[in-house]
Amino acid sequence: MRNKIFTHRFSIGSDKYLLLVGNSQIVKINELMYKMVPLYNACSKKQLRKKFLNKYSKRDIENTLADFDKVAQKSKPIKYKKSNITYKCLHNALDAIKIYITDSCNLNCKYCFLPDQLKRKHMGNMTEAVAQQVIDFTLKHISLKEISITFCGGEPLLNYKTLKLIIDACETNAKKNKRKFYYSLTTNGTLLCQEIINYFTKNKVNLTISLDGNKTAHDASRKFSNGKGSHEHIINMLNKLQLSNKRYFKKYVSFITVITPQNPNYLDRYKYFNNLGITNVDYDLVAETSDFKLSDKEKKTINANRNQFDTFLAHEIILGNFKKINYEMPYSKVIEQIMFPQKAILPCSVGIDVIAIDVDGTIYPCAPFVGNLNFSIGHITEGVDFNKTFSFYNKQNIVTKKCYNCWALHFCPSWLCLYALSKENNGLKKPSEKECRSIRDWALRGLKFYIKTHRQNPKSFINWSKHIEL
């Protein structure tokens, strides 16, 4: 019996291609093979010959079937690694903690998604007493030598005192137990001062700063509660940050910029950051919430600007101007998977080796669920309820079962993320078709981007890979 193949066909102009899903290999194919692909697994060779004999020569059909045999030999099934959650739970395999030290913010950004996410009453800052309980819980439930701690908000620097308390305690523990803590946070940048900069530099805190381009673009969305723009404050802070320690700025400071319908031009943002000497920028599309939805016209405008930007970056890549690019490689997850295939799919293990802790000490599987008590898995004073963790994990396996038959699984930014795939469906019963369709469209654009760029300079991505850390 012939082996079935897991593939996805697509075209670029008149050229036809086949993606071998299991090992992320791309094969150029002829028109006949392109037409046979949807039928190949369901039909015998005899049936395929009969179906196409009236339109194609016998020789073309036999050659194409021989090509299918070669593809079947190259094609590999997707492998799934099972996570031993019982072992991890019993052996404190926690390696990442997200701590909400405040849900307050000193800005009133138009596109803020936090109130929509939290779905709970405002709590303000985490108290010193709760912070001490977080410290005790964290140090009790870790056994690994490297731990990641992310401080979340709101604006985390509104509770700098608590942040400092937690880092100081972790550093004391690190020295005693030869352990390494990695710290990170995202900030609007308006509260950074020399004291905080010096402290972050000393403790190598990874800092992500929100900056939406020039003054006009930034201040259109990111205002203080009094309506005044925040751009001037951030630029003054950036000057201090760059002058304070250039090595820290280059290695530990990155930026996030949000693309909105009012300011959809990616290329303008790119040029702005280049002029500032900023080389690490993440471009995020504005998040839709229950109160804010992008219209079809706005999506079309943003996509047109994104396509223009991708064309520009492809040209830069072809020319080898990697040092000029202050943007993560477009479709980097797609390109990295093609160049360095991930052979096995690892299930998401939120709630097991990753947790999120709310301002009041309630524990959740990960950050997007914070504030929704339906998904609480414990409290820092009592620990994690493993029954709830197992229930959550089993629900994830049911929800993401459909993902295993998706051709874009290896490229998926959500990577079996229960929240990202299910956020439209209350109760997390099935993946969101809207989200999945968007991801498949993005992955297909990535495949085409790779092929078009590779055609013009086959060494483009080999050279690019030398400038990234995988």
Q: For 300-316, give the DSSP string.
A: HHHHHHHHHHHHHHHHH
Residue whose structure tokens are 């086959």: 458
Examine residue 374 and state whether it is found in any structural domain, yes or no. no
Task: Please check whether residues 22 and 106 belong to one and the same domain.
Answer: no
Whether residue 171 sits in one domain with residue 142:
yes
Integer Cα distance of 232 and 149 in angstroms: 30
- Read off the pTM: 0.85
Query: Does some domain include residue 408?
Result: no
DSSP-assigned letter for residue 348: P
- One-letter-per-residue 3-state SS of 434-469: HHHHHHHHHHHHHHHHHHHHHHHCCCHHHHHHCCCC
- Specify the pLDDT at position 315: 83
Q: Is residue 244 one of the residues assigned to a domain?
A: yes
Is 248 inside any structural domain?
yes
Whether residues 53 and 174 share a domain: the answer is no
Largest CA distance in the chain: 80
99 and 205, same structural domain?
A: yes
Give the residue from 55, 77, 99 where a domain finishes. 77
Question: For 124-141, how does the pLDDT look when each residue is reduced to its tens digit (9 = 90+)?
Answer: 999 999 999 999 998 888
Give ∠ CA 132-134-137 in degrees, rounded to 5: 110
pLDDT under 70: residue ranges of the chain: 1-2, 79-93, 115-119, 322-330, 343-348, 395-401, 414-418, 420-431, 463-470
What does the pLDDT read at residue 310? 83
What's the pLDDT at 395?
Answer: 67
pLDDT at residue 427, as a whole number: 54
Distance of CA 390 to CAs 108, 139, 140, 357, 387, Å? Answer: 38, 23, 21, 18, 5
Cα(34)–Cα(225) distance, rounded to whole angstroms? 57
> Has residue 91 been placed in a domain?
yes
Asked whether 113 and 287 are in contact (CB, 8 A), the reply is yes
- Looking up residue 174, the CATH number of its domain turns out to be 3.20.20.70
Cβ–Cβ under 8 Å, residues 428 and 123? no
Tokens of 178: 């030869």
Nearest to 141 by CA among 86, 176, 91: 91
Residue 380 lies in a domain: no
Same structural domain for residues 48 and 103?
no
My answer on whether 158 and 61 are in the same domain is: no
Q: In this structure, are residues 36 and 68 in contact, taking their beta carbons and an 8 Å threshold? A: yes
Within-domain flag for 56:
yes
Going 96 to 97 to 103 to 107, the CA torsion angle's sign is: negative
The total number of structural domains that make up the chain: 2
Q: Which of 299, 324, 344 is the last residue of a domain?
A: 344
**Residues 174 and 243 both lie in one domain:** yes
Boundary of a domain, candidates 77, 98, 120: 77
Tell me: do 90 and 177 sit in the same domain: yes
- 68 and 94 in a single domain? The answer is no
- Asked whether residue 180 falls in the same domain as residue 201, the answer is yes
Q: How many CA atoms lie within 13 A of 169 on its CB side?
A: 18
Q: How many angstroms separate the CA atoms of 361 and 357, rounded?
A: 6
d(CA 360, CA 351): 18
Pairing of strands 15-20, 25-29: antiparallel
Looking at the structure, do residues 142 and 286 belong to the same domain, yes or no? yes
Are residues 173 and 53 both part of a single domain? no
Domain that residue 193 falls in:
85-344
Residue 24 inside a domain? The answer is yes
b/e 205-238 (16+ beta carbons within 10 angstroms → b): bbbbbbbbbbeebbbbbbbeeeeebbbebbeebb
| Sign of the dihedral defined by the CA atoms of residues 320, 326, 327, 328, in that order | positive
**Per-residue pLDDT, 65:** 94
